[in-house]
């Protein structure tokens, strides 16, 4: 692993490798049952703020090719809940399910002064982080009413995070 690559870039690279060119899906991953699995916070899950617009564009391109939803994670490297959420998404028992169902893109909002235009594009005003959006490849937000429910990731079990993502992804 290259130390300078962000969590988002790693998730996108893994996703694109798994689905490269063919659009074929992985074998269906059942919903992970991880209970209170120990989660390690990711030290720096967000790339530089200026990388976000291209990362979001790439995520939607990958989602359209693979018919998955986009999980847009608005946050910052200084945010403990954001770092824990990234740890849940990259946990070995959870990551295959996440990669099968979502194209994950992390958007660095710095101190609520970067990439606010990306959030507004999806009808969201970021006032607290993390904000997690589940978006169809066509741009429809499926959880606009519950974007802050993962905001206390440090106090949630990994299973609660997975269950919430699964619930949101079933919406249409």
Alpha helices, DSSP H, located in the chain: 7-18, 52-66, 80-90, 95-101, 116-121, 158-169
Tokens, residue 109: 């909002």
| Interhelix angle 158-169/80-90, nearest 10 degrees | 80
Task: Please tell me what DSSP assigns to residue 133.
Answer: E
- Distance (Å, whole) CA 28 – CA 63: 17
In the chain, the domains with their CATH numbers are: 7-15+37-169 (3.40.30.10)
Q: Summarize pLDDT for 63-121 with one digit per residue, the tens.
A: 999 999 999 999 999 999 999 999 999 999 999 999 999 999 999 999 999 999 999 99
- The rounded mean pLDDT for the chain is 87
Nearest in space to 131 (alpha carbons), one of 97, 103, 106, 156: 106
Does residue 17 register a pLDDT over 80? no
The two most distant CA atoms of the chain are separated, in Å, by 40
Structure tokens at 115: 């990439």
């Amino acid at each position: 692993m290259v130390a300078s690559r962000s969590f988002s870039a790693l998730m996108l690279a893994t996703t694109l490798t798994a689905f490269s060119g063919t659009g074929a899906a992985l074998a269906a991953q059942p919903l992970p049952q991880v209970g209170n699995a120990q989660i390690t916070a990711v030290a720096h899950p967000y790339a530089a703020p200026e990388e976000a617009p291209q990362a979001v564009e790439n995520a939607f391109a990958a989602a359209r090719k693979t018919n998955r939803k986009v999980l847009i994670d608005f946050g910052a490297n200084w945010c403990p809940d954001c770092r824990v959420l990234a740890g849940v998404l990259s946990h070995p028992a959870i990551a295959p399910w996440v990669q099968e169902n979502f194209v994950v893109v992390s958007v660095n909002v710095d101190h609520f002064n970067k990439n606010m235009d990306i959030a507004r594009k999806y009808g969201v005003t970021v006032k607290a982080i993390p904000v997690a959006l589940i978006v169809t490849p066509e741009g429809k937000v499926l959880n606009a009413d519950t974007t802050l429910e993962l905001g206390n990731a440090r106090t949630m079990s990994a299973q609660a995070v997975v269950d919430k993502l699964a619930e949101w992804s079933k919406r249409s």
